[in-house]
């Protein structure tokens, strides 16, 4: 049988929670399909004067809780199915952490490493022109994702502001602080990962001081997760990226490895470490595994070989539904993506609030508010997992769907018979 697509994985996750909740079929139907997906072609003048047409998408999954929100990914494997799945996960994630957003996601099929800086700028501006009719601070607010960063967000914001003739910092989040970005946004996803790992470790009685950690994908989410977990006392023993992986039994300094990657383009060849494959990293005998790269990394093919006690999903969708079942039976604690990596969108929400108010907060205030939200979300999910005897992913979806259901009922999107408010 062919492997399921990423969007089919989302539908299966929704289905699992809907069954436990005995969810109203009207709500399920509304959550099963995105509201809209815009497919665009972006002609870009290359440095040699030729024109290359790139393909991109923006998908808005559900806006019952507020304007839609989600990152934009530049990656050669982007496809409509992936963008739809990532948008749906944003709907559930925003609902779970209690922020007033729906879910969206965008992507462009490109390897940005093949472009010059000027070509990347023209592509970024072209993509925002193409999707400008459906985005805006009150409609849909983009952010960074794989292979996009604060510089790309700055071009997005600048281009949209020119199109509208109004300076619009609230269009995107993940901007540099000088353009209205928030303190703490750059590392917020990983800070949220760290708070949830800390709470999960308390729940399962895992001592973090000296706990070993392997990180798959040493980018924004992965490298900062390594740094913050190291600050909690964890020993980071393995990491990789698209070019290769490293292992060091006695642990390495995660900040020095990040610097090495910045200088050389990869974690590979970091002094004092052995080379390891991606599969070695995923199945390594460590206490905590942090997948922080792409989807479908932990599948039915390797789930049985996973030895970690805890998996903190910094990436979106790293574990397939079939792998979930295997890991649950092995009693591995999974902090599911929509919980573990929700720190990013939470601080994006703080950034947007600051932009709309034109009043800016200190880093301490951002971190404190983020910690409150992440700890509260973890407790809700963990209590649901304990009380209903369901795995952590089903529990996270249940918490999210309950809030979405209440909002849909209140807005009159579903017929609820004679039920009183
Ligand atoms: P990034 O571009 O900063 O880093 C991605 C890293 O993954 C890179 O180091 C890349 O080399 C590596 N990588 C790519 N393919 C790989 C492979 N096959 N094996 C191992 N490593 C590989 O991206 P990011 O923003 O850190 O995003 C990573 C994940 O985290 C994605 O799933 C993203 O959706 C999720 N996420 C990011 C944020 C955020 O705020 N950046 C928020 C929530 C979730």
| pLDDT confidence of residue 139 | 98
**Nearest CA owner, ligand 1 atom 23:** 146
CA of 218 to the centre of ligand 1 (A): 7
Cβ of 59 closer than 6 Å to ligand 1, yes or no, is: no
Please give the pLDDT value at position 415: 87
Per residue in 78-131, pLDDT tens?
A: 999 999 999 999 999 999 999 999 999 999 999 999 999 999 999 999 999 999
Half-sphere exposure of 254 (CA within 13 A, CB side): 28
CA-nearest residue, atom 8 of ligand 1? 219
Q: Which residues lie closer than 8 Å to 133 by C-beta, 6 or more apart? A: none
pLDDT of residue 155: 98
* 407 Cα–ligand 1 center, Å: 32
Set out the domains of the chain in order of their start, with CATH numbers.
34-169 (3.40.50.10860), 188-340 (3.40.50.720)
pLDDT at 345 (0 to 100): 98
pLDDT attached to residue 418: 62
Residues of the chain falling short of pLDDT 50: 1
Among 28, 69, 93, 105, which one carries the catalytic annotation? 105
CA distance linking residue 163 with residue 130, whole number of Å: 11
Ligand 1 within 6 A of CB of 241: yes
Q: Is 252 in the pocket of ligand 1 (CB under 6 A)?
A: no
Give the count of alpha carbons within 13 A of 408, CB side only. 24
Reply yes or no on whether 105 is catalytic. Answer: yes
Enclosing H/E stretch for 351 = helix 343-357
Output the pLDDT for position 419.
Answer: 62
Select from 303, 338, 341 the least CA-distant residue to 324: 303
Find the 73 Cα to ligand 1 centroid distance in Å. Answer: 10
Q: If you measure from the C-alpha of residue 412 to the centroid of ligand 1, how many angstroms do you get, rounded to a whole number?
A: 38
pLDDT in the model for residue 1:
42
CA 177 – CA 375 distance, rounded (Å)? 26
Supply the angle between the helices 80-96 and 6-21 in degrees, to the nearest 10.
30
> CA 86 to CA 270: how far, in whole Å?
33
Q: Is the CB of 220 under 6 A from ligand 1?
A: yes
């Amino acid at each position: 049988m062919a492997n399921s697509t990423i969007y089919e994985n989302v539908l299966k996750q929704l289905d699992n929670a809907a069954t436990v909740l005995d969810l109203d079929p009207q709500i399920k139907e509304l959550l099963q399909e995105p509201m809209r997906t815009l497919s665009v072609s972006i002609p870009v003048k290359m440095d040699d004067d030729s024109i290359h047409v790139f393909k991109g998408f923006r998908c808005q999954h559900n806006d019952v809780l507020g304007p839609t929100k989600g990152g934009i990914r530049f990656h050669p494997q982007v496809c409509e199915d992936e963008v739809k799945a990532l948008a749906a996960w944003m709907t559930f994630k925003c609902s779970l952490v209690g922020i007033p957003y729906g879910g969206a996601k965008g992507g462009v099929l490109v390897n940005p490493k093949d472009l010059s800086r000027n070509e990347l700028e023209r592509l970024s501006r072209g993509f925002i022109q193409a999707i400008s009719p459906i985005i805006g601070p009150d409609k849909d607010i983009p952010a960074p994702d794989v292979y996009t960063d604060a510089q790309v967000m700055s071009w997005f914001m600048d281009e949209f502001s020119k199109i509208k003739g109004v300076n619009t910092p609230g269009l995107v989040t993940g901007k540099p602080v000088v353009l209205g970005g928030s303190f703490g946004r750059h590392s917020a996803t990983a800070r949220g990962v760290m708070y949830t790992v800390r709470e999960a470790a308390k729940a399962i009685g895992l001592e973090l001081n000296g706990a070993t950690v392997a990180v798959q994908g040493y980018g924004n989410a992965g490298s900062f997760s390594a740094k913050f977990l190291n600050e909690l006392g964890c020993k980071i023993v393995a990491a990789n990226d698209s070019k290769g992986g490293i292992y060091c039994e006695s642990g390495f300094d995660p900040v020095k490895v990040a610097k090495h990657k910045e200088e050389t383009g990869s974690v590979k060849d970091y002094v004092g470490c052995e080379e390891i494959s991606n599969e070695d990293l995923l199945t390594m005998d460590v206490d905590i595994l942090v997948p922080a790269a792409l989807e479908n990394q932990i599948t039915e093919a390797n789930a049985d070989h996973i030895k970690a006690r805890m998996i903190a999903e910094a990436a979106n969708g790293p574990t397939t539904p079939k792998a979930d079942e295997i890991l649950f039976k092995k009693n591995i604690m999974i902090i599911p993506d929509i919980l573990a990596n929700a720190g990013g969108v939470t601080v994006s929400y703080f950034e947007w609030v600051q932009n709309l108010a034109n009043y800016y907060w200190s880093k301490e205030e951002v971190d404190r508010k983020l910690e409150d939200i992440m700890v509260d979300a973890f407790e809700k999910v963990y209590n649901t997992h304990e009380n209903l005897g369901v795995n952590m992913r089903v529990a996270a979806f249940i918490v999210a769907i309950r809030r979405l259901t209440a909002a849909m009922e209140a807005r009159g999107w579903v017929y609820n018979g004679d039920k009183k408010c």
